[in-house]
Homo-oligomer: A and B are copies of this chain.
Amino acid sequence: MNEKMNALLQKVYELHDLEKAAGVLGWDKQVNMPKKGNLARTQQMSTLGRIRHTMFTSDEMSELIAAAAEEQAEAPYDSFEASLLRVLQYDYDQARKFPTEFVVQMTMVGGQANAAWEEARANSDFAHFLPHLEKVLELTKQRAEYLGYENEPYDALLNQFERGMETAVVRQIFQEAKEALVPLREAIDERLTAVDDSLVHQPFDVAKQQEFARYIAAAIGYDFSRGHLGTAPHPFASSFSRDDARITSRWYPDFLNPSLFGVLHESGHAMYEQGTHPDFARTPLARGASLGFHESQSRMMENVVGRSRSFWQRHFPKLQETFPDALGGATADEFYRAINKVQPSFIRVEADEVNYNLHIILRFELEQAMLTGDLAAADVPAAWNDKMQELLGIVPPNDSEGCLQDIHWSWTGVGYFPTYALGNFYAAQLYEAAQAQNPQIGADMAQGDPASLVAWMGENVHQHGRKYTPDELIHRASGQPLSHAPFIRYINEKFSEIYGL
């Protein structure tokens, strides 16, 4: 009865193992590999990728999927079998959309653009990156055509990262979010000095930071017996199975936030992977529903939980005990205010909760203009600075701190940025839904305990892995389509209180 399905699964397991093996090589590259090992590592990863791609896009694979789909035609929509077959067919169709030569060209152009970007950013030399950006845009337009779309080319790009999400929907949500966030940002700008964050800019022993990071990650529910905390210059989370989902962090000796909130953020990602259903092991269902959903879990742990007052009422004594010199004389409330200081800044990854989405909206608007041709690549620096003025009220002193700050365009990742803001919106919406469905969650959170919230996420989000599309999942979990409104309610309430607006 499951003969065809089992035959397909053997192949699926192999493909998954190859992908996760490449993942281990990528993790190791960021965490342990000596720089000079990079040539061999790139060759190893590319060999694994090539073998996997050849196996996956073979006609044999298509036949295995078709045979299993016929055998499992009666399987319910929610079943493991039907869900896996949907996802496999979708991935297979996506992978077959590009001619091999195009994939090779994309990889080559991306590789060169990435190297040029690194140099351009180091020297704040946009002219050096410009010809590469032009090529990337040209190929990106071609990519959209290969992928296909109903309404506009950007749909095809966005869909790669947030399946089923339409540009028109994002545009509408971002527009309304902007109209709410810019006035809030302006109101806070007038009272910037109301919050003092010198508390977090003091000497903090790195070994002690690592010790506290382990404490606080465990406190929100990250399972160290199925995880690992490593050090990486650009922190990330990566999982090789639900029983080996890792986090990384960097450590500054004189600034607490990057390690503290970085670890909470990456723990949120890793807890999603740790929470996928055990039956999904070794299949493409064993991961998050989308980049936006993944980001919702990391931002929820970092901000909704990790930057809440009650959480620090609970854990500040332990933090004080760890850093008596720096924090011995402070109160939990002073610390809460310090970690929530709002201050427009040039760099996205350092942005506070109010300004972060404005950074994303800026990139989304520029990407669309570049794609339609309204904005030439050469004019990106000027357009960037204009938008910074309009949205954040500041202008970067150079392109390194402006349009050259992000890696994404260099690796041809146009369409990726919106998922960061969608993550914030999903997070607030899920948080509201969770509280509405189970009043205990609000009560526990008021005590600084996220356990019941995390359990709700496990039940309503984590365990489903990639079984549902983002749209299906947000409907199932919250009964509503994606909306920015819960985030705006959350952000207005929190920061009006902090800044006395």
User: Which of B28, B31, B36 is close to A225, meaning CB atoms less than 8 Å apart?
Assistant: B36
Q: Which of B34, B51, B282 contacts A14 (CB 8 A)?
A: B51
Interface bracket on A: 35 or more
Does any Cβ of B come within 8 Å of A230's Cβ? Answer: yes
Of B22, B37, B51, B224, the residue contacting A34 (CB under 8 A) is B224
Mostly, the A contact residues are: helix
Q: What B residues does A35 contact at CB under 8 A?
A: 225
Shortest beta-carbon distance, A18 to chain B, in Å? Answer: 7
Distance A14 CA – B282 CA, assembled complex (angstroms): 24
Count this chain's copies in the assembly: 2
Within 8 A of B (CB), among A160-202: none
A48 at the A/B interface (Cβ < 8 Å)? yes
Interface string of A214-246 (1 = CB under 8 A from B): 000000000011111010000000001101101
CA distance A65 to B439 in the complex (A): 70
What residues of B have a CB within 8 angstroms of the CB of A122 in the complex?
A: none
Are B47 and A14 in touch, CB under 8 angstroms?
A: yes
**Does A440 sit at the interface, judged by CB under 8 A?**
no
With contact pairs A21-B25, A25-B24, A34-B225 given, residues A40 and B243 touching in the complex (Cβ less than 8 Å): yes
Residues of B within 8 A of A39 (CB): 241, 243
Q: Per-residue 0/1 for A1-43: is the Cβ within 8 Å of any B Cβ (1 yes, 0 no)?
A: 0000000000001100110111011011001111111011101
Q: Which of the residues B27, B241, B246 comes within 8 Å of A40, measured between beta carbons?
A: B241
| A433 CB-CB contact with B under 8 Å | no
A27 smallest CB distance to B (angstroms): 8
Chain B nearest CB, measured from A11 CB (Å): 11
Min CB gap A217→B, angstroms = 13
Q: At the interface, yes or no: A44 with Cβ under 8 Å from chain B? A: yes
Q: Is the CB of A281 closer than 8 A to any CB of chain B?
A: yes
A to B CB contacts below 8 Å, 25 in the list: A13-B43, A14-B47, A17-B43, A17-B44, A17-B48, A21-B22, A21-B25, A24-B24, A27-B28, A31-B32, A32-B246, A33-B244, A34-B224, A34-B225, A34-B244, A35-B225, A36-B225, A36-B226, A36-B243, A36-B244, A37-B226, A37-B243, A40-B240, A40-B281, A43-B282
Residues in chain A within 8 A of chain B (CB atoms): 13-14, 17-18, 20-22, 24-25, 27-28, 31-37, 39-41, 43-45, 47-48, 51, 224-228, 230, 240-241, 243-244, 246, 281-282
